[in-house]
Amino acid sequence: MAIQEVRVKTLPHLEDIKGKQLLHEIRNTLHITSITGLVTAKVYRLEGITAQQAEFLARHLLAEEVFQTYTVNEAIIKDTDKLVEVAYKPGVMNPEAGSIVKAAADLGITEMLAADSSYEYGFYGTLTDDETRLILTRLLVNETVERVVTEKPATLIIKGRPGGTRVIPIRHMDDEALLELSRDNLFLNIEEMRSIQGYFAALDRDPTDCEIETLAQTWSEHCVHKTFKATIMVDGQAKKPLYQRLRESTDRTAHPLVLSAFEDNSGVIEFYDGLALCGKVETHNSPSAIEPYGGAMTGSGGVFRDIMGTGKGAKVIASTDMFCFAPPDLPTADVPPGCLHPHYLLRRVVDGVRDYGNRMGIPTNNGSVHFHRDFRAKPTIIVGAYGIMPAADAGKGQPVNGDLAVIVGGRTGRDGIHGATFSSGEMTHRTMDVNASAVQIGHAIEEKRMSDALLRARDEKLIRAVTDCGAGGFASAFGEMGEGTGVRVHLERAPLKYQGLAPWEIWLSESQERMALAVDPAHMERLADICREHNVEVTVIGQFTGTGKLEVLYQDELVCELDMEFLHHGIPGRTMTAVPREHTVQIIEPDMPGDWEQICTNVMQHLNVCSKEPIVRMYDHGVQGSSALPPFAGVAGDAPNDAVVIAPLLGQKYGAVIAHGLNPVLNTIDPYAGSIWAAAEAVSNAVATGANPDELVLIDNFIWPYPDETSLYDLDRAVDACVDFVKATGMPFISGKDSLSSTYRAPDGSVIKIPPVLCISCFGRIADVTQTISTDFKRSGSIIALVGQRDINQMGGSTYFDITGAASNRVPLIDPALLTVTLRSLHRAIRSDAILACHDISEGGLLVALAEMCLGGGVGAAINLPANQRADYCLFNETAGCFVVELTDRARAEELFQDVPYLILGCTTSNHNISVTQDNNSIFNIATAKLFKAWQKPMQEVFGGC
């Protein structure tokens, strides 16, 4: 059939925003000055319709006449020096393609067989071939999923005959052959491969490819968390598994708000008026490392589906994102083979989170970005989501014998295959080639429609159980859902994006926007009606049985038959040895600053301190009308708040608080202290806004190097820190995730261990969102106090030491018991209305907290430091769990904080300076405008073309 081409571009007299951004990137990132201009156009290819129908669609669907023009079957960019077209590779999910076909049908054009879209880039100037190639490889084409279009396609329809089911002769393999079978895609160790071999030897048959792949997915580190469930040997003594320690510490709290912990796709707590809140935080490091846009998109989409798949289904009300990258100005020569440049990674990851959340109408309102050189080998990409549901629907559903196995949402393709196993292994220079199929591109609009349909179905009591098709696809969803019953699935019924998939590929595909349901047959007709109303596909692909077996068929051929007992419990138990690493730090004390103004501005513009406002502004944090305390506040709306507060039910004063904490630098030096710091930072952020510490719960995310003996020891210490924190504070962990593949192995065998990250997320309920406070100073003449205990000599891992070249292993040590007393005192003070503003101390220390509060309030500050302390340490110490508060008068401080350490620092002033004295001697006086300019500079340079 003929393919019609529609090209759309911005009208000549208007600004081409995409072209402007790319031109900025070329000039400022690649430093190519020979380019004088750039113009872009969107190309749509439509198969099966006439030119007249293409004209109709161009006019009514594809172009907006107010600011765009179009052509049909002719060029639209005609006068440039070079013209390049970039498209997704065939088979890669293009979210627009399906939407175009559906929209055309809604407009009465039902003849369309297929659609695709791409971009044309027209370059002006004297670009050399090498410069053009650099632009393509660094900015425009990720060869994992994209290609340069060199000729018009003959058809857009992907054809193919499905491959047959292969039998793997595993019974006769020696250990070397077993490991070779596992190496690139299964990522199982020799004991696990031998266990599989023994299982099939007992059955007197060899496994199919579908059975091998199912076991590898189910037993992957990503899915079964086998390191966290292993017995840990330390100094010859056996310790309980990491997961058991976390679970038991939560159980011991018997927290009255917890409804579900570590039982479902997210943790659930009691809210108000018969409602419940749930939260989940996930990682998407490996796919984001090789395709940052798609990886970040599907990270957000996946964690949203975790919320949608909790209990009988929840509505997503908030999104979070926490990123770790190498510095964006890292020299290209320092990027390891097979890795992408951090500047590109940062921008594209942000684009992915922005596009998914904004398109679904979910506010992204809490997050952070951290930098360390060793993230050059692999970024850490953390995404979270929070939801609301009736408390009566918060329990995890279980299918019963005879229920239908139902798929709702998107179609199945090759995207995402081996995602679970791929995410469980080390990254190497071969990863982008070997594991390219693990990358996916999300379709946010598809997920939004599906979410709306499922909420309707939940409210009509049509869903027995629900989960998402995440890592492992159907295999994971139905394999887990049917563990207690057994399930039989018919793969030929699954709607496909294109033909040619082998049965095991359909089964293991991680194509996005799909949910698995268990539905009573009596409810199926009504569920189908709801899905049709929402333009969502729904398909019965099997039934839950009483056999205790996983049975997968393709056109009446049994391609997989596994005992549920072996699938879920046959994996060999692990005993792992943890050995302390030798970590010596040469103590280097910095000299006292000679130029205080330069030191202060250097701290403010440090990548781990500077404003991330250009990123935050790309996210719609007010889309659901629930923002009670936004990410930024103050006179000009550019001062960062410590946490966000949302009121998810319009007209109700009650709401939820969301915060987090992490510090990879401290974890690298001392994983126990760094982990306590992360937890303290998370809860301090929440309490600083007015949250009650007794109504907060925690989520853990361990993103760690591959667990060799020394990394495992550090992980063991981090888990001990979490357990000790729960014991001291009574705040339970109710959900979590581990990702233990943050290691890069170079072609020469050298290894880069990515800095270990423990991200602690914190959420809870707030009875009255009007009783929360922001960080900005409210007036001049107020008292400024420092609340909380700190040892200013504990400067290891600080921003100040980083910029001065100093070093120490004396990192901030936080007493969780004293922190708990401090948090409760602060909460009482906020509730008494004595506190006008509050900001916790974190990266950058006291100076940065003061500067951000002054910037927000449009005031200055005059502070006097204790006479017996190093002034620089006093200003730049980064002990979490300490707070700068604005008080109405000095007398209230003694009354409010008599049980905890506190110090009167000074007062707010009407001028726009921060003046610091010590023992009545002036140390420095710096304009807040200078600090503000330095603070905003780094991310403005990275995102200046936006």
DSSP letter string over 929-943? HHHHHHHHHHHHHHS
In whole angstroms, give the CA distance from residue 908 to residue 782. 5
- Domains in the chain and their CATH numbers? 3-148 (3.30.1280.10), 160-239+397-571 (3.90.650.10)
- Tell me what the mean pLDDT of segment 171-189 comes to: 90
Residue 431 has pLDDT above 60, yes or no: no
pLDDT of 205 reads 97
β-strand 783-787 against 883-887: which pairing, if any? antiparallel
Using CA atoms, how far apart are residues 407 and 517, in angstroms rounded to an integer?
Answer: 6
Residue 94 has a pLDDT of 83
Instruction: Give the model confidence (pLDDT) of 513-560 as tens digits.
Output: 999 999 999 999 999 999 999 999 999 999 999 999 999 999 999 999
Give the pLDDT mean for 691-712. Answer: 96
Average pLDDT value for residue range 778-791: 97
**pLDDT value for 183:** 85
Give residue 422's pLDDT: 42
Cβ proximity of 296 and 767 under 8 Å? no
pLDDT attached to residue 91: 75
Alpha carbon distance 679, 674 (integer Å): 9
94 vs 940, higher pLDDT: 940
Average pLDDT, the chain: 93
Residue 423 has pLDDT above 50, yes or no: no
Q: Is residue 259 pLDDT above 70, yes or no?
A: yes
Residues of each annotated binding site for Mg(2+): 282, 306, 468
Query: In terms of Cα–Cα distance, which of 18, 108, 117, 116 is closest to 67?
Result: 18
Q: Tell how strand 655-661 and strand 696-703 pair up.
A: unpaired
pLDDT in the model for residue 426 = 54
Q: What is the mean pLDDT of residues 619-630?
A: 95
Q: How confident is residue 439, by pLDDT bands cut at 50, 70 and 90? A: low
Mean pLDDT of 798-816: 97
The answer, yes or no, to whether residue 465 has pLDDT greater than 60, is yes
Between residues 324 and 144, the one the model is more confident about = 324
368-399 per-position pLDDT tens digit: 999 999 999 999 999 999 999 999 999 999 99
Annotated binding site for ATP: 280, 700, 736
Tell me how far apart the alpha carbons of residues 161 and 701 are, in angstroms, rounded to a whole number: 42
Overall average pLDDT of the 884-888 stretch:
96
pLDDT digits (tens, 9 = 90+) for 553-588: 999 999 999 999 999 999 999 999 999 987 778 899
Instruction: Look at residue 326 and tell me whether its pLDDT is greater than 50.
Output: yes
pLDDT exceeds cutoff 90 at 690:
yes
When mean pLDDT is compared across 360-364, 467-471, 557-561, 791-795, the lowest value belongs to 467-471
The model's pTM is 0.92
Q: Would you say how long the chain is, in residues?
A: 946
Q: Are 699 and 280 in contact (CB under 8 A)?
A: yes
pLDDT of residue 132: 94
Buried b (16+ CB within 10 A) or exposed e, 591-627: eebeebeebbbbbbbbbbbbbbbbbbbbbbbebbebb
Which residues are known to be catalytic? 222, 284
pLDDT in tens, 16-75: 999 998 998 898 778 899 999 999 999 999 999 999 999 999 999 999 999 999 999 999
Q: What's the rounded Cα separation, in Å, for the pair 806 and 669?
A: 14
In this predicted structure, the answer to whether residue 127 has a pLDDT above a threshold of 60 is yes
Annotate 736-761 with DSSP letters as a single string: EEEE---EEE-TTS-EEEPPPEEEEE
d(CA 296, CA 471) in angstroms, rounded, equals: 15
Mean pLDDT along residues 620-635: 94
Annotated binding site: which residue ranges? 280, 282, 305-306, 440, 468, 510-512, 700, 736, 739
Output 92 or 215, whichever has higher pLDDT.
215
Q: With pLDDT > 70 as the criterion, what percentage of the chain qualifies?
A: 97
pLDDT at 945: 55
Q: What is the pLDDT of residue 1?
A: 67
Residues at the binding site for substrate are 305, 440, 510-512, 739
Q: What is the largest CA-CA distance in the chain?
A: 88
- Quick one: 702 exposed, middle or buried, by C-beta within 10 A (0-12, 13-18, 19+)? buried
| 411: phi then psi, degrees, rounded to nearest 5 | -90, 170
The answer, yes or no, to whether residue 418 has pLDDT greater than 70, is no
pLDDT at 704 over 80: yes
User: What is the share, in percent, of the chain residues with pLDDT greater than 90?
Assistant: 83
pLDDT tens digits along 466-517: 999 977 899 999 999 999 999 999 999 999 988 888 999 999 998 889 999 9
